[in-house]
Amino acid sequence: MVTPTTGPTAGTATGRTFNFPTLYFEATRACNLRCNICMSGSNDPQRVRQSRQEQLTAQEIEDLVFARVSEVGVKIIIWSGGEFLTRPDALDLLRGARRHGYRSSVCTNGLQLNQERLLAIREAGGDDLVISLGINSLDDSNSATRDAEVEVTLRALDLCESLGIKRHVVVNLGRHNLQTLGQTFDYLYQRRIPWNRSPFTAQGPGAQHFWNKTSPAKRWSVTPTRTCGDMPSGT
């Protein structure tokens, strides 16, 4: 997915001008978690097996992505999945993006992140690389949608800070965490961690859980004490 923006145009593909500075790239369906509300199908082993035949190779990404997306103004590639870091060539892809002049943001569940791994990721992606992690709640309800304890994410965020690596958090909104959003946003704000809010989407194998996790309109009257506008983007 390429995200457009307003402002001066860049690129003249198909005779039209575009300015799409951010490319959101689901580079794999493989994942080391099985979250029940996964929107990419990474909790479905059969779908993951089928996707391996369709997954772009490093050379195809070099030829079809790196060499071309600058034509429509792309400057930042957000690597996602699945779990992007399960790709054996993940670091090579970060180096390739950097070689072509792109900045990278890595969306990860944090399970693979330790000091050695983070330093290798920064070496590959450059000092402006961003690590983006997910938090839905700071209490036990986090595991209602994520197949991992929130402590995994908090440890990764603290490690990024200690290493001077840029960090960012995505908070998925649903009825399971409406009452704790204020606490979550205050936690991020006090630690100066940029975030964005993202609603669940009824797609993929996780669609069957969608109506159990999303909130009816009347529940949106709960107002968090901080808003996205308080902090700049992690990228």
Is 130 a domain residue? yes
pLDDT digits (tens, 9 = 90+) for 130-151: 999 998 888 877 776 777 889 9
The domain total for the chain is 1
Is 235 a domain residue? no
Is there a contact between 182 and 230 (Cβ–Cβ < 8 Å)?
A: no
Mean pLDDT calculated for residue range 59-84: 95
- Full residue range of the structural domain in which residue 200 is found: 2-230
Specify the amino acid at residue 80: S
- The CATH number that applies at residue 201 is 3.20.20.70
pLDDT digits (tens, 9 = 90+) for 180-199: 888 999 999 999 999 988 76
- Count of CB atoms within 10 A of residue 57's CB? 10
Mean pLDDT calculated for residue range 146-164: 92
Crossing angle, helix 90-99 and helix 115-125, to 10 degrees? 30
Is 77 a domain residue? yes
The pLDDT value recorded for residue 54 is 83
Is 96 a domain residue? yes
Is 162 a domain residue? yes
Using alpha carbons, select from 174, 221, 204, 176 the residue that is nearest to residue 81: 204
